[in-house]
Amino acid sequence: MGATPAQAASGLLTVFVSQALGMLWLALRYRTPITLAWSTPGAALLLSTGAVTGGWAAAVGAFVVSGVLILLTGLVPALGDLIARIPPSLARAMLAGVLLPICLEPVIGLADSPKYVGPVVLAWLVMHLISRRWAVPVALAVALLVVVVSAGSSVSAGDLVPSLTWTTPHWTAQAVVSLAIPLYIVTMASQNVPGLAIMKSFGYDVPWRETMTVTGVGTLAGAPFGGHAINLAAITAAMNAGPMAGPDRDRRWIATVSSAATYLVLALACGALTALVAAAPGDVMQAAAGLALLGTLAASLAGALADEHGREAAVICFVIAASGVTILGVGAAFWALVAGLLLRPLIAIGTIRRR
């Protein structure tokens, strides 16, 4: 998005700290294992969108707008109802289209930089045979090892210390439309709504208004320091709310507290991690990210195509989002959702008439 390494490290530090503090507040207040995370589909959206008109300051302005929308979702129930009316298949198709170029990176990296990317892909494949759940963490560890061996000497000691870097937000219409709105939609549809459903599946009620207020305020406060969005967790929510967190349901909130403490410890490594990623040779980190998001891509495609009646509209939405086109300065994710929403009822009417 045009951030310097220091600004990128600040953004990572911000989301670690803001989600940890939000988790501590909600878990201790309600004695419920409410788990927060940064927006993973939102981060993928940033990667696929690239630099926007106005540069990094405009991207930060878009983060602020997204935070305001998340906050309003908690304060204005009608806004949450409006988001809930977006067909899940279209939201997942848009996310799948955003993810596809990223998930192609391991293939492209193997062709362009086999010396660097090959060990990462090999580690991922081998771990799938041994323990599937560890495939992505081991692949990421191997990617970092490759970076340390090949470029570690180019990282100075000063780069390793995390610090907050302020960026004054700047607002442009293109950034708001092409980044802020899609970021809000994918965060709500692919994180907050599934996160709420996962908590309900384990018998926990999430205080929706306060959770949206906490995540909205956290996103707003973190935006000038580079944080893009925090939200209800999905995968880690299942870990903290399920049997993995202990047999006593009334004490599983302790897992959320320990998770928050772990995030605060990991925040200390943000400077080192960002410096290593910035110094990475070839396409090694992009390839690792692509491997990490393959599962999300598969789930998004499955969800997008599950609804037979809206399948064609979902495919169109997916193709447009994956194209990466920019029209009138607005990115593909926005146009994909617009096209899907417009074509879905038209295709349905045509199907009924043919019958």
pLDDT for 269: 84
Token readout for 93 is 């198709």
pLDDT for 77: 76
What is the dihedral sign for C-alpha 335, 183, 329, 294?
negative
User: Between 302 and 160, whose confidence is greater?
Assistant: 302
Give the residue among 233, 232, 221 at the shortest CA–CA distance from 64.
Answer: 221
**Number of Cα atoms under 13 Å in the Cβ half of residue 320:** 25
3-state helix, strand, coil in the chain (%, to 5): 80, 0, 20
Residue type at 284 in one-letter notation: V
Count CB atoms within 10 A of the CB of residue 297: 19
Using 50, 70 and 90 to split pLDDT, how confident is the model at 32?
A: very high
- For residue range 78-122, list pLDDT tens digits in order: 776 776 677 878 878 887 887 888 889 999 988 888 888 898 999
Give the residue among 245, 227, 246 at the shortest CA–CA distance from 236.
Answer: 245
> Is the pLDDT at 157 greater than 70, yes or no?
no
Count CB atoms within 10 A of the CB of residue 153: 9
The neighbouring-strand residues paired with 230 are 38
Count CB atoms within 10 A of the CB of residue 221: 17
Mean pLDDT of the chain, nearest integer: 85
> Is the pLDDT at 309 greater than 70, yes or no?
yes
- pTM (2 d.p.): 0.74
The neighbouring-strand residues paired with 327 are 330
